[in-house]
Amino acid sequence: MHVLKSVIAAVGAFAFMAVSLTSTASAGDYKGDFMIRAGVSVVMPDTDAKVFSNGGYLGPAYDADVKNKWIPSATLTYFFTDNLAAELFCCFSKHDIDGKGALAGADLGDTWIFPPIVTLQYHFTGMGRLKPYVGAGVQWIHFFSEGRSPDLGGKLDLDDAFGFVLQAGIDIEIGGGWYLNADVKKSFIDTDASWKGTPFAADVDLDPWIISANVGYRFNLSDIFGRREASYEPLK
């Protein structure tokens, strides 16, 4: 049910953007300088935590797990050339954090995240309708609205995090500037966690995989801004 809701939300948002664009821009252009994509992503943290109490490491038996999440997501891509592009990925998601090992069954809290990713990409050409690409860049994660841990007795607090990202994907032309897209990103990122009013803290390696399925539309920005400029008439 959560996946279905995410898909519906993503498709609805993309349909709104596409209608807005196609009402002002000419037909899509596979050589255009701008692309928007929207779809659904699964965020799968590859979590490893070192848990401390009063500053002392409790050992490898104490661990934590950040749950996977399906979310609607979107990207904006600007093409400098046919091969070189920059992409912004964005979404919001909420994740539950549970204990593992000696902490198995413990509810460690939950958090909302805002995790934008910026990558520089190389797009391969000469493969017909198939347009594979690879990329590398950075991710910043902002944690907010953290919840209280009923088992540790304190409110979770997570520091914002910054890390490195690798990416691979493929666009498939389906006509009129439209694409189907599949994309995989791997982030290498960690954060510091604490529970207010308790002696507990943790160093958490998140290192999420982000796997996305999208519909994309490529066009020229000048088709929008040029047409708006042409239709402008000064007031008399």
Q: Which two tokens stand for residue 109?
A: 């809290």
Which DSSP symbol is given to 83?
S
* Fold designation for 2-231: Porin (2.40.160)
Dist CA 96 CA 151 (whole Å):
14
Sequence-distant (≥ 6) Cβ neighbours of residue 194 within 8 angstroms: 156, 157, 200, 201, 202
What are the extents of the domains in the chain? 2-231
CA–CA gap between residue 229 and residue 236 (Å, rounded): 17
Question: In this predicted model, what pLDDT tens digit does every residue of 97-156 receive, in sequence order?
Answer: 999 999 999 999 999 999 999 999 999 999 999 999 999 999 999 999 999 999 999 999
Indicate yes or no: pTM above 0.95: no
Contact 176, 27 (CB under 8 A): yes
- CB distance 63 to 46 below 8 Å: no
Note the pLDDT of residue 18.
47
For all residues of the chain together, what is the average pLDDT?
A: 86
Q: Which of 22, 129, 124, 13 is nearest to 73 (CA)?
A: 13
